[in-house]
Amino acid sequence: MKIPISLQINGEMYQVQVPVQKTLLAVLREDLALTGTKNGCDSGECGACTVLMDGRPVNSCLILAVDAVGKQITTIEGIGGIAELDPIQEALVAHGAIQCGYCTPGLVMTAKALLDSNPHPTETEVREGIAGNLCRCTGYVKVVEAIMDVSRH
Ligand code: FES
Ligand code: FES
């Protein structure tokens, strides 16, 4: 059975009919075509699906869409685009910290939440902050450098 819900995503209201067991990740990708948020594991282990919920990073594969009602959801589409990249995206590009890119949207969202709450983190704090975002390609060194670079400005 589907129920009607309203979701606030990137400052816009969306009306969708969803089964109560459908995850926020699935609704973003399948119902709203917000496919910048990636599905890496669908089980809370990789961080590829990270979005911000009321400013805090969450794994959208672990959140039911019905539980996102009344929250402010921010996805990668809400913080930067090709025309104007977010400073974190710019820094990742500048540092060559993107390879396949599958982890990148989730990583950007986590880094944004980290820098919003702690604008000048130590390297250890950056590494701890992104620990839930798995990247099989980069080895993290350039990723950490890029986030530290943003924090210096
Ligand atoms: S897809 Fe959600 S944590 Fe991997
Ligand atoms: S760049 Fe490939 S998983 Fe991170």
pLDDT of residue 35: 97
Reported residue count of the chain is: 153
CA of 110 to the centre of ligand 1 (A): 13
Nearest by Cα to 62 from 132, 144, 136: 132
152 falls in which pLDDT band (50, 70, 90)?
confident
Q: What is the pTM of this model?
A: 0.96
pLDDT of residue 83: 84
Nearest by Cα to 135 from 107, 110, 112, 111: 107
Atom number of ligand 2 nearest to Cα 101: 1
pLDDT of residue 118: 96
d(CA 118, CA 125): 9
Ligand 1 and 24: CB distance under 6 A? no
User: Is the pLDDT assigned to residue 153 strictly greater than 80?
Assistant: no
Mean pLDDT, rounded, for 106-120: 97
User: Which distant-in-sequence residues (6+ apart) come within 8 Å of 107 by Cβ?
Assistant: 47, 50, 92, 130, 133, 135, 143
Q: Which domains does the chain have, with CATH numbers?
A: 2-78 (3.10.20.30), 87-152 (1.10.150.120)
